[in-house]
Homo-oligomer: A and B are copies of this chain.
Amino acid sequence: MNGVVEELTWMVGGEQGEGIDSTGATFASLMNRQGYFLYGYRNFGSRIKGGHTNYKLRIATHPVAAQSDHVDILLAFDQPTININAKELREGAVVIADERVHPKLPEGIRASLYVVPLTQIAEEHGNRIMKNMVSLGATAGLMGLPVEAFYELMQKRFGRKGNEVVEQNMQAIAAGAAYIRQHYEKLEGFDLAPADGKSRYLMIGNEAMALGALTAGCRVMTAYPITPASDIMEYLVRKFPKVGGVMIQTEDEISAVNMAIGASYAGARAMTATSGPGFSLMAEGIGLSGMSETPIVVIDTERTGPSTGMPTRHEQSDLNMAIFGTHGDVQRIVLSPSTLEDAFYITADAFNLADAYQVPVIMLADFALCEALQTTEGLDPTQVRIDRGSIMTDEQLMQLPGGGQFKRYAITPTGISPRTFPSQVNGIYQADGLEHGEDGHPTEDFDVRQKQMSKRLAKLAGFHYDRAIDYEGPQQPDLLVVGFGSTRGVIDEALAQLRQEGHAVARLTLRCLWPFPAEETTPYLEAAKHIVIVENNAGAQLAGLIHREVGYHGKSSSLSQYNGRTFLPSQLVRLLKEWL
C-alpha cells in the first residue's frame, strides 16, 4: 500500500475526571480488535478530578513494549493538553482540538491544528458527554479508519442500554470522522498498515500478576489500598468468589502482611500487594516470614519515592529495600517481571518458590510495568504447575514415633524442613519469630542458634531460577546494557536502532534479583567490553547490587533517571552513544 505506516502514536489529553481514561481504553480496545499491537501509558496525577491527564497509545503492526518518542496524533480536550504535550509532537503531527476551547499551537511547533467542534457535534447528537466518541470519530477520519470498525465495540459497551444508544454513539463517531474529512485535506503518514486481525489480549501488568496469582492457587489476599497496587486487590476480590477465595482489606499493611503469614501457616497460598510506603511498613512482617519459615508472596508495585513521593509516577527504587530491608539476616527471594508475560508466569513461580524454600518472595514490579496497557498473544495456564513444596503427608506423620512435638525446623542437608499444617495429626509444632530449636520452641542456646541460622542460609545457598535472566544480543558486545523490570522494552528498542547503526550491543535483564544470579550473569558481564546499567532510580541501586555481588566496578557505568518518567527509545539511544 502506498504511504502506510507501521506504527502511530495517538494521545488523548484533558482534565482528570473528563473521561480521558475511557476514551483511551475505548480506542485501545478498538485497535486491539483490529489486530494491532498496543502499548498504552496513562499519565495521571495523584488527585481525582482536575489537573492534566493524558493517555498515550502506541499502535503498531508489530509488538511494542515501550512508549514511543513522539506523538503523531494529539486529541486535546483543553489548551493545557496542547501546551504540556507540544514538545512530544513529531514534526507534521496533527492536533485535534475542541473548538470550544479556542485552541492554539504554541509558537515553533510544526504540527497541524485541526479545530473540531467536538462538544458541539456531541450536543447536536444528543449529549455532550459523547464528545469522546466524536473525537474518536475524528481520529478515525484522520487515520482513514472505517467508522464501521466501532460497531462491535459500541454494541458491547452500550448494547444493554438499547440499540438507540448504540446508534447515537455510532452517529457521533461518524460525524466526527465526517467533519475531519470535509474540513481537512487528507495527510500522508497517518494511514496504518492493516493489522493481521488476530485476536489478542490487552491488559496491564497488575492484572497479569493478579491472574498469575489466581492461577497459581493463591486463595487468600490481604491488602491495604495504595497506588499503584490497588488494582490487584480489586481484581482478585472480584474473581475470588468463583474459587472460594477471600480478599480482605485490612486496617493497614502491618496487618496485611501478618494476616498473610497466618493464612500461609494454616495452609493457604497467601499474598499481599502494596507500594513503597506500605512496603516499608511490612519490613518487620517480612522478617517474621523469613524467621518462621512461613512462605508468603509480597508484590511491591514501585512508584516514585522516597516517602509518599509521587504516587502515580514511575520508578524502580525499592530494590534496596526488597533485598536488604528488615533488620537481621532474612533469607528471601526477590523477583522482577520485565514483560507482561513475566508478570503472569513469574508471579505464578513466586508461589512455588515461596513454598519450596519456605521464604518470603518479593515481586518487585515497577509502575510502568504495573500500569502500562500491553498486548499479549495469550497466557498459558498449563505452563503453571502448582508445587507446594515439602509438606508432610498424613501417612508420613502417622509413622513418626509419638511423643514430643513435630520437628518443624529439623536440621536437613538442604536446609529445607518438611512442614505440617494445623489439623494434621502428629504435626503439632510452634512457628516462631524468636530463635528456636527444631520443634519451634524458643532457645538461647548458642549452638542451636548457629545451626538454625546456618540451616536458613543453606536453603538458598545453591539457588537457581530458570527465568533468572534474559540475554539478547551478540556474545561479545561492545556494550552490554543491563536492567530490570520494564526497562527491558525500551532497551530492546534502543538497541535495535543502535544495531542498525552497526553497533555490537546486547541486553541483559535480571528477573531474579536475589539470590543474585552470579553464575548466570558473570559470563555475560565478563564478555562485554563495557557495561551500562540502566535504571529508574537516583541511587543506582542495581549498579550497586551488581558491584556488590560480582564487581566490575571498573568497566561499568550507571545510567539512572529519576524524574518519574520512563526512558524513551531515542533518548536512550542518545544516552547510550556516550559509551559507543
Contact = CB atoms under 8 A, between A and B. Distances in A.
Contact of A283 (B309, B325, B328): B325
Contacts of A137: none
Contacts of A321: 283, 324-328
Contacts of A435: 304, 309-310, 564
Interface string A345-361: 00000000000000000
A450 interface: yes
Interface in A283-309: 283-284, 287-288, 290-292, 300, 302, 304-309
A307 B325 contact: no
Interface residues of A, number: 71
A281 interface: yes
A440 to B, nearest CB: 13
B281 A538 contact: no
Interface string A451-474: 001100100000000000000000
A551 interface: yes
Nearest to A318: B327
A547 interface: yes
Interface in A422-452: 432-435, 442, 444, 446-447, 449-450
B279 A457 contact: no
Contacts of A565: 446
A222 interface: no
Contact of A306 (B275, B323, B328, B550): B328
Contact of A304 (B254, B308, B449, B454): B449
Q: Would you call the interface of chain A mostly helix, strand, loop, or mixed?
A: mixed
A544 interface: yes
A317 B328 contact: yes
Given A283-B283, A324-B323, A562-B450, A309 B544 contact: no
A253 B325 CA distance: 17
Nearest to A451: B563
Contacts of A311: 434
A548 interface: yes
A538 B329 contact: yes
A291 B306 contact: yes
A320 interface: yes
A46 B443 CA distance: 10
A155 interface: no
Given A310-B435, A544-B548, A450 B318 contact: no
A140 B21 CA distance: 85
Contacts of A541: 329
Nearest to A276: B327
Nearest to A323: B324
Contacts of A550: 553
Interface string A391-405: 000000000000000
Nearest to A548: B548
A327 B444 contact: no
A389 interface: no
Given A45-B444, A280-B283, A548-B547, A307 B292 contact: yes
Interface string A528-542: 000000000111010
A562 B453 contact: yes
Contact of A288 (B51, B288, B307): B307
Contact of A564 (B290, B444, B564): B444
Which 9 residue pairs are nearest across A and B when measured between Cβ atoms? A305-B328, A306-B328, A276-B327, A291-B307, A548-B548, A307-B433, A324-B324, A320-B324, A280-B283
Given A276-B328, A457-B538, 17 more contacts: A45-B444, A46-B442, A277-B327, A279-B327, A281-B284, A283-B325, A287-B306, A288-B308, A291-B305, A304-B435, A308-B433, A320-B324, A328-B537, A329-B541, A446-B564, A547-B547, A551-B553
